[in-house]
Structure 1
Amino acid sequence: MTDWAALSYVVVDVEGNGQRPPDLVELAAVRIEHGHLGDPASWLVRPPRPITPFAKQIHGIANEHVAAAPAFAEVSAEVRKALDAPALVAHNAHVDVGVLERELGDWECPEVFDTLKLARRLLPGRPSYKLGSLVEAFGLDHGLADMQKPHRAEYDTIVTARLFAHLASSRSLEELRGQSKRGGDDEPSLF
């Protein structure tokens, strides 16, 4: 049985503009190497279509906040470099992967570990599997008081990385792969 920390991961979170399909507004990534979290990288980008009032209400990013930000094409090389890992981790990963695939075109998505699926299977009976509920239940936001708040990409990436480490800590890589691969647990994207 291989220890989960033997694999390198990149944990990602995206925030969208509320359009269908969503355009990228913010992206963050943090690496997990040998079981240790690295420093997060984040990008605020100007989407081609406006941010809807509903999306702004969720993440707090307004059109004026991104007016001077670069278009995604200007930071795509940096993003590709940050995403270069054997495995990707995200909460409700199909949303993040879908946006990244649209934005990066020929990007090859690595193996995916979805913390939503993992939490539902490894922690049965919880009242909620929303990221915020799991963060609160396990105290995963300690030390983040001075940082951006929930529903901002950098914050969500760090707490998702901590959630993944919490879920993985007593399991083998093979068990995590088996629990994350099963289908049917995706939730629709709100923005």
Structure 2
Amino acid sequence: MDSTTAILDAEITVLDYETTGSVRGFANEPWQIGMVALKGGKVVPESMFESLLRVEPNRPFNPNAPGRHALLRDAIAAAPLPQELWPEIRPRLTAFPLCAHNVATEKKFLRLMAPMHRFGLWIDTLRIARKVWPGCASYALGELMVLLDLKRKVDSLCPAKEAHDALYDAVASALLLEHLLAQPGWTDLSIGELASL
């Protein structure tokens, strides 16, 4: 997609990974991915996707790593490897601009999942939120959901899920972007302008 594409003409893939966290002697690995599309500035609930990602059963997780990994260790050990999942999710990750709340984690694991692929523009809702709402006590995604009265909407779109579930956080990031784009003047931006904020 061209960087000059108007935001309302764009489809954006919003994603989130949950990871094992840092443990001495082990690489930080993703154990869950969640995605949702934003089209015409609106979240598309039918586009929601989530999958566990295989992590060897004997490797330790950082005990402070967020998420429900302790309850899901058997399912995580039997889940597809990131490379096995790649053909299914590739179109959503290579054909559209990408968005996450603090994109560093998602960029890193996407590069590891598909090192030979090029990805498009990245939109960082954390960076944008810091510019739009300076002086917030916290820019954590969960705190912003409460501050902007978006938590009930995330909960309704992701029943039985909670913060630090990859799909829940992807939907929360997408709703944050939807909320931003509903502000006066924001729909005049191009994808490239939004990514450069």
TM-score under structure 1 normalisation? 0.84
- Say which of 1, 5, 9 aligns to 1:6: 9
Structure 2: how far apart are the matches of 1:168 and 1:116?
14
Structure 2: how far apart are the matches of 1:22 and 1:90?
18
Secondary structure (helix, strand or coil) at the match of 2:189 reads: helix
1:22 correspondence with 2:32? no
**Once the 2 structures are TM-superposed, how far is the Cα of residue 179 of structure 1 from its aligned partner?**
6.1
Give the 3 Å change call, closer, same or farther, for CA 180–54 of structure 1 in structure 2: farther
1:37 correspondence with 2:36? no
- Say which of 167, 173, 186 aligns to 1:160: 173
2:13/2:99 contact within 8 Å kept: yes
1:68 correspondence with 2:78? yes
**Once the 2 structures are TM-superposed, how far is the Cα of residue 80 of structure 1 from its aligned partner?**
1.0
**Cross-structure match for 1:93:** 103
**Moved runs in structure 1, 4+ residues, more than 6 A?**
none
* Letter paired with 1:174: L
1:11/1:32 contact within 8 Å kept: yes
1:174 correspondence with 2:189? yes
- Say which of 150, 158, 164 aligns to 2:163: 150
Structure 2: how far apart are the matches of 1:137 and 1:8?
26
**Once the 2 structures are TM-superposed, how far is the Cα of residue 81 of structure 1 from its aligned partner?**
2.2
Secondary structure (helix, strand or coil) at the match of 1:142 reads: helix
**Cross-structure match for 2:63:** 54
**Cross-structure match for 2:127:** 117
Structure 1: how far apart are the matches of 2:195 and 2:141?
16
**Cross-structure match for 1:140:** 150
Tell me which moved more, 89-98 or 142-151. Answer: 142-151
- Gapped regions of structure 2 (runs ≥ 5): none
Q: Number of residue pairs matched?
A: 181
Give the 3 Å change call, closer, same or farther, for CA 147–5 of structure 1 in structure 2: farther
- Gapped regions of structure 1 (runs ≥ 5): 183-191
TM-score under structure 2 normalisation? 0.81
